[in-house]
Amino acid sequence: MASTVTSLDLKMAADGLPAIPSLVKRVDEFGGFSSSFGASAAIEGDVVNVPVYGITAGADAWNKSSNHYLTAGTDSVTGVGVTLDQRIKQTALIEAKYLPRLDLKMKLADLANAVLQKCQLNVYNTIINATYGAAAFTGVASTFDTVDMIDLEVLANDAKFGTDRALVIADSYLANVKKSDPLIALRNVAGGNGIDSFAELAGFKLIGSNLIKSVTGTAATENLVGFMTDKTAIAIASAYVNTDGIMDSGVSIERTVIGGFPIQFRMFYDRETDQLSITAECLFGYNVLRSAALQRIVSA
């Protein structure tokens, strides 16, 4: 084999990916959804059970005959089946003459990031008016501030969002919130810990996205730039691709977990083209669960 890249090199590079902050941050962007990231391989079309925690409300006084310890309330933990119907992959073909200088770890990171972005965009592209209704906020980034955050909190309360809330929004909108006078004053009082230390605000986990502006189709024409949710709106699932019985001895397979998300790599050398093929891939799927638990943010 003319390649200077071995199976051991692939393993060492893949094992180093969970320590790359940018990849962990990319996976954090899934924080607005209920999720089940599989630790084992699956076949395209398999169904994964995703736990979804219902909203606990309506407690009442204990009663021996009508409200005892076997009387169910509104709380629930539901297992929702999500079909792994998408096989997401990105491949790099690298000429053998470049292999001695190849930073394999960084190449795997690029491929993994592309796979994660595609999974996220596939979900974001479904966040449209027809499914989730009118936007909770309409405006440009320069007008979005802490006052609007408080207004979103009230809207979420009125919509009976659960307590585990997330705001996924374009970086430019989140940056304007962090630069607003109330947060700057709070930062100074807190001893100058830095604006980025504000991970939650108005009851929301803040998740900045540099990807959501890249939506296509209806989501793009409706100018989607973010959404607020309590994680019961959408369920997502992922798993490694099952390769049992289909791989020959010339193909190397390695798997890693980045922030809980499973990514698989396959690598082989093609003698005819004198190229090394490296692929990152995963199985992925999602379901809309409770459309009332997500409200959109649009720019216009």
pLDDT at 68 over 60: yes
Query: Predicted confidence band at 56 (pLDDT cuts at 50, 70, 90)?
Result: low
Output the pLDDT for position 1: 42
Output the pLDDT for position 39: 84
pLDDT at 300 over 80: yes
The answer to whether residue 159 is domain-embedded is yes
pLDDT at 114 over 50: yes
Pairing between β-strand 204-209 and β-strand 165-170 as defined by DSSP bridges = parallel
* Mean pLDDT score across all residues of the chain: 89
pTM of the model: 0.88
Output the pLDDT for position 51: 86
Output the pLDDT for position 5: 79
Task: Tell me the residue range of the domain where 41 lies.
Answer: 7-53+78-298
Output the pLDDT for position 267: 94
pLDDT at 260 over 50: yes
Output the pLDDT for position 2: 44
Q: What is the pLDDT of residues 125-180, one digit of tens each?
A: 999 999 999 999 999 999 999 999 999 999 999 999 988 999 999 999 999 998 87
What's the domain count of the chain?
Answer: 1
Token pair of 61 as six digits: 């006084």
The answer to whether residue 70 is domain-embedded is no
CA dihedral (250, 284, 118, 244) in degrees, to 10, reads: 0
Query: Predicted confidence band at 109 (pLDDT cuts at 50, 70, 90)?
Result: very high
Place of tokens 């979804």: 52
How many CB atoms sit inside 10 A of residue 216's CB?
Answer: 10
Output the pLDDT for position 293: 94
CA dihedral (44, 238, 296, 157) in degrees, to 10, reads: 130
The answer to whether residue 63 is domain-embedded is no
Share of the chain above pLDDT 70, in %: 88
Token pair of 22 as six digits: 């940018």
CA distance 87 to 190: 46
The answer to whether residue 219 is domain-embedded is yes
pLDDT at 184 over 70: no
pLDDT at 187 over 80: no
The answer to whether residue 259 is domain-embedded is yes
Mean pLDDT computed over 192-203? 68
Lowest average pLDDT, out of 72-86, 96-110, 224-238, goes to: 72-86
Mean pLDDT computed over 61-87? 82
Residues near 217 by beta carbon (within 8 Å), at least 6 away in sequence: 125
The answer to whether residue 1 is domain-embedded is no
Residues near 116 by beta carbon (within 8 Å), at least 6 away in sequence: 23, 26, 27, 258, 261, 263
Mean pLDDT computed over 193-208? 77
Residue 159 per-residue DSSP state = T
Output the pLDDT for position 59: 78
Residues near 21 by beta carbon (within 8 Å), at least 6 away in sequence: none
Domain with residue 158: its CATH number is: 3.90.1690
- Kindly report each contact of residues 68-73 with a partner whose C-beta sits within 8 Å and lies 24 or more positions away, as own/partner: none
- Residue with the bigger pLDDT between 64 and 49: it is 49
Q: What is the pLDDT of residues 2-11, one digit of tens each?
A: 446 788 899 9
CA distance 164 to 200: 11
Output the pLDDT for position 180: 79
